[in-house]
Structure 1
Amino acid sequence: MPKLAKKGKDSALTMKISAVERKQKEVNRVLKLKSEILLKSEVSYLEYIEMRSEMERLKALKDTFERRMHKLKQQAN
């Protein structure tokens, strides 16, 4: 019975890890897109300030996901 519980726990961790990886990829994609927009286009100062603050929030979210991923991988081992 403990073997089944461990297998279920591993499965749950695997699902959590894949969900965090998916979220990380999306945040990275959006950050890259926003950076390209800022570099390639002429945006107004207000748009620039808004994008910069949004990018700061996304970077904080990215850091949170990285910490969560590290924690989940430690639990998996």
Structure 2
Amino acid sequence: MEKLKKSKSLKKSKETALVVKLIKTQRKQKEVNRVLKLKHEILLKSEVSYLEYIEMRSELERLNTLKETFMRRLEKLKQLAK
């Protein structure tokens, strides 16, 4: 009986940790999406110098990579949660 309780509590703690990771990853992904949207708006609405444009473009590439990484991580976590 005691072994069963430990097993259940271990499973519950793993599920809780998984949910926490999922929530944190979703929060990070939302923030990356927000920053990406802002950067795109800045590029579209304002006239920036070529140097600023190059810097923003490299930053956008980095943010897009981060976005894809978070998407993959979320998919993995969702599969583990099932």
> Normalized against structure 1, the TM-score is what?
0.98
- Whether 1:75 aligns to 2:80 is yes
CA distance in 2, matches of 1:20, 1:54: 20
Q: 59, 62, 67: which one pairs with 1:57?
A: 62
The one of 22, 31, 34 equivalent to 2:39 is 34
- The aligned residue for residue 49 of structure 2 is 44
Match of 1:11 in 2: 16
Q: Deviations over 1:33-66 (max 9, x none)?
A: 0000000001001100100110000000000000
Identity %: 69
> Displaced runs of 4+ in structure 1, greater than 2 A?
none
Equivalences, count? 77
Q: Which ranges of structure 2 fall in alignment gaps of 5 or more residues?
A: 1-5
The AA in structure 2 aligned to 1:32 is: K
Unpaired runs of 5+ in structure 1? Answer: none
Query: Normalised by the size of structure 2, how large is the TM-score?
Result: 0.92
> Computing the radius of gyration over CA atoms, which structure comes out larger, 1 or 2?
2
